[in-house]
Each structure stands twice: as structure tokens, then as C-alpha cells.
Amino acid sequence: MVRLILLEDETVLCSELAGYLTECGHMVDMACCVAQFQQLFSPSDHLIALIDLGLPDGDGIDLIDWLRMRGKRLGIIVVSARSSRAEKIRGLAVGADHYITKPFDLEELAATVSALARRLVTGGVSPRWILDIHRRQLTPPGKAPINLTAQAFIVVHAIAAGRGTLVDRRCIVDALSEDYLTYDQRRLDTQMHQLRKTVFAASGLELPVRSARGRGYQFMADVDLKS
């Protein structure tokens, strides 16, 4: 999907959030303090920033103000233990797009990230992806069609046919006309890795497919199957 930068000073929580968002298909850079964030942050690469407020070397609110003054289009999600109404209003007023309080549900966070990413990436263009079954092409929102190999098309078609639900790995292997019991699962992982690279290279967008480790894959965006 998109490249994120995550600012969280709790090491365990930071790793957990980064791991989960990576499984959702995002690329995540981690920072544990304001100084490290400012060193890692790239306006041309990062589309969304997830920012904690209570930090060892500063306040996340001041960092949000610093980011907004740079004028770059950037989605900002506050993830903080500060849950008072005044703090939420302050965070949104200074420039945050969303304010999520700890503790929170990981799926809620992922949904917020995906919704914000769609709005930022499409710029008003329909966020729907299109899979042309006849031409074996995948068209990202507002981008040119991408030609798929026969194997890649089968994999994408199987996942997209799930209509947003998790598609079991066995179903994908069956679609490839392989025997699930003897099929090397690493082949499917390699296929997905290559597919993500192909889509990103052609469109600059991340393939919106979430990987559920050991279980299957889920298409996280709206997709039309065109015959």
C-alpha cells in the first residue's frame, strides 16, 4: 500500500505496530524519538506518519506543527495515551488527520491507515482497482493497466474474488492447479513478493493485499472484476 513512518518510544509497542502494518502490506520506518524521526523522515517517500505525543526529547504536537509548516501533503495519525477531549482537539487543530487513543484495536488502526492512504493517493480519483480477466491486466486507481504473467494473474484473481475477505492459501494453490500437500509454500510467498514489486514499479502504489501469516491473503481495497 504505502510507506509509513512510525514514531513510538515504547520499543515493544513500536515493533508490534510495525510488524502488523507490514503484514497489512505497508512499508514502515520506525523512530523512537523526535530527533530520529526528523533524521529518517523523507517528504518524497513517506505518505503517512503515525505519531505518539509523549516523547523523550519533545512533544509530538510540536512535531506535527513542524511537519505542517513544511507544506508537504502528508497524512498524520496521532496514537497517544492522552485521551482527554482537550488533547484530541489540540491534536486535530494543529494538523492531525486522525487521533487514536491507547489502548486501541490493531484492525481499527489498519483501517484508519488504509482509508487515509486511499484519500491521499487517489486525490479524488475512484479508489477502486480493476482486474481485467480477459486481458490479464490489473489497473490501480488513476494509473495505467499493468500486464500480469499467467501465474500472477491466477493469484491476484483468486485473492480479488474473495471480495475483501481472507482467501485461504489452499484456495490459491488450488487455483494454480497444484497439489496443496506437495506444493512448496515458499513459491507462493515468492510470487506475492514479485507481484508487489511489479505493481509498485509500474504505478508507484503498493498492492493492497494483506498477508495473514500462514493463513492466506486479503484484498484490502475495492476491486472490480472485469470480464
Q: Give burial (CB, 10 Å; 0-12/13-18/19+) of 76.
A: buried
Convert the pLDDT of each residue in 96-123 to its tens digit: 999 999 988 898 899 899 888 877 876 6
Residues 160, 218 share a domain = yes
Judged against a pLDDT cut of 60, whether residue 124 lies above it is answered with no
Convert the pLDDT of each residue in 51-74 to its tens digit: 999 999 999 999 998 898 776 778
Per the structure, the count of domains in the chain is: 2
Judged against a pLDDT cut of 80, whether residue 35 lies above it is answered with yes
In this structure, are residues 140 and 199 in contact, taking their beta carbons and an 8 Å threshold? Answer: yes
Cell 470480464 belongs to 227
Mean per-residue pLDDT over the chain, rounded: 90
pLDDT of amino acid 123:
62
pLDDT of amino acid 205:
81
HSE toward the beta carbon, residue 130, CA cutoff 13 A: 14
Task: Out of 88, 122, 156, pick the residue that ends a domain.
Answer: 122
Residues 90, 173 share a domain = no
Residues 210, 134 share a domain = yes
Residues 67, 96 share a domain = yes
pLDDT of amino acid 125:
54
Residues 113, 59 share a domain = yes
Could you tell me how far CA 38 lies from the centroid of its own chain? Answer: 21
Residues 107, 7 share a domain = yes
Residue span of the structural domain in which 104 resides: 3-122
